[in-house]
Amino acid sequence: MNCEHSEGQLLDYLSGELPAAEEAALTAHLAECADCRAELEAVRAVWHTLGQARVPEPSPHLRPNFYALLATFEAPEAPAPGYSLQSLWQWWLNRDVSRPLLRAVYSFCLLGMGLVGGYWLNNSHPADTADQQQIAQLAAQVGDMKQMMMLALIENPSASERLRAVSYTRQLDEPTTKVVEALLSTLDNDPNVNVRLATLEALAALAQDPAVRLGLVHSLARQESPLVQTALADVMAQLQERRSVPPLRELLKQENLDESVKSKLEQTIQTLSTGRPAAPSAPPSHDQTQLSPQPQHPAGATV
C-alpha cells in the first residue's frame, strides 16, 4: 500500500467504516510509515476538534416565523361578494396593475364624471327635480369611489401608499364611520411614525365628530413614539379636551420618558386643568447650549 492511497482512507479508518481487510492493510502500513502516522494524528486532532464543536440551537422564533410564512401562501383569497361597485373596485386593485396606471384610470374616471356633470349643468334649463337627483347621485358615487380607494390603500404594505390613503381623507366631504375607524386604527397600530403623524393631522381636522375626539383620547395610552405623544398632546390642548388629562397623567408615569415629552405633557395638563398656559419649563438636562453672559457696563461708560 502506498502513502497516497492510505491518506484517502484515514477518515474511514478513524470512523471505523473500513472493511476488515483494508483496515488490516492500513494498520500494517502505518506501523512502517512515519509520515502516514503523522498525517493520521493530524486528522485525528481535527476529528476531535469537530466532535467538540457545539451545534447551534435554532432560534425560538424559527418555527412561528416558518408557519406564519407558510400561512401567507396557504390562505385562500376571500371571494368578493356579488358584483357591487366595491367588489368591482377590489377586483381591479387585486389585478397586477402598476400604481401609475391605477392613478391614471382613477383620474380618468373622475374627469369623465366631471365632464358629464358639467354637460348637464350647461345644456339644461333650470334643472328639475330628476336632474338634481341624478347630479346628487353622481357626486355620491364619486365620494364612494374616493372612500373605497382610501380603505383599500390604508391596508397596503407600502408606507407611501398608506400615506396616500390618509391624504385622500382631505377630499372627502363627509367621511363614513368605516373611514373614521380605519384612521383611528392606523393611528393606534401603524408601524410607521410618519403615517401615524399624518393620520393624527387628518383626524384633528375631523375633531368635530365626538367619536373622533374620544378615539384620540383613547389613543394616548397606545402611543410609544415621543413624536406622536408630543403631537397628540398638542392636539388635546388645541381641542381643550379635558378628558385627556387622566391618560396624560398615566403617560407621565412611564419609565425613561423623554424629557421634552415630559415637559410637553406637563404643560398640556396644566393648560387643560387651569385654562392657562403653563410657565416655560427649564431646558432639558441633555441640552448643553450655554448662553454667554452679557458684559456689564458702568453707567455713563462709552461702548
Q: Check pLDDT > 60 for residue 9.
A: yes
Give the model's pLDDT for residue 39.
84
d(CA 141, CA 150): 14
pLDDT given at position 232: 92
Q: What is the DSSP string of the chain?
A: --HHHHHTTHHHHHHT-S-HHHHHHHHHHHHH-HHHHHHHHHHHHHHHHHHHSPPPPPPTTHHHHHHHHHHHHHPPPPPPPTT-HHHHHHHHHHSS--HHHHHHHHHHHHHHHHHHHHHHHHSSSS--HHHHHHHHHHHHHHHHHHHHHHHHHTT-S-HHHHHHHHHHGGG-SS--HHHHHHHHHHHHH-S-HHHHHHHHHHHHTTTTSHHHHHHHHHHGGG---HHHHHHHHHHHHHHT-GGGHHHHHHHHTSTT--HHHHHHHHHHHHHHHHSSPPPPPPPPTT----PPPPPP--TT---
* pLDDT at position 283 over 70: no
Question: What is the rounded distance in angstroms from the CA atom of residue 179 to the CA atom of residue 142?
Answer: 15
Q: Lowest-confidence range among 67-71, 102-106, 112-116, 298-302?
A: 298-302
Which grid cell sits at 283?
A: 431646558
Q: Which three cell numbers stand for residue 92?
A: 381591479
Q: Quote the percentage of the chain above a pLDDT of 90.
A: 23
Amino acid at 217: V
C-beta atoms surrounding 145 within 10 Å: 17
What does each C-alpha distance from 117 to 89, 104, 126, 129 come to in angstroms? 22, 20, 14, 15
| pLDDT tens digits, one per residue of 54-92 | 666 666 666 666 666 766 665 555 554 555 555 665 665
Q: Lowest-pLDDT range, 199-203, 223-227, 277-281? A: 277-281
82 contact partners, CB below 8 Å, separation of at least 6 = none
Q: Could you tell me if 236 and 207 are in contact, meaning their C-beta atoms sit under 8 angstroms apart?
A: no
Residue 251 has pLDDT above 50, yes or no: yes
Burial class of residue 270, CB neighbours in 10 A (0-12, 13-18, 19+): middle
pLDDT, position 33? 86
Give pLDDT tens digits for 147-167: 777 788 888 888 888 888 888
Q: What is the pLDDT of residue 199?
A: 92
Say if pTM beats, i.e. exceeds, 0.75. no
pLDDT the model gives residue 130: 63
Of the listed ranges 60-74, 173-187, 222-236, the one predicted with least confidence? 60-74
Listed by start position, the domains of the chain span 3-52, 85-153, 169-278
Residue 234 has pLDDT above 50, yes or no: yes
CB 233 within 8 A of CB 248: yes
Q: What is the mean pLDDT of the chain?
A: 74
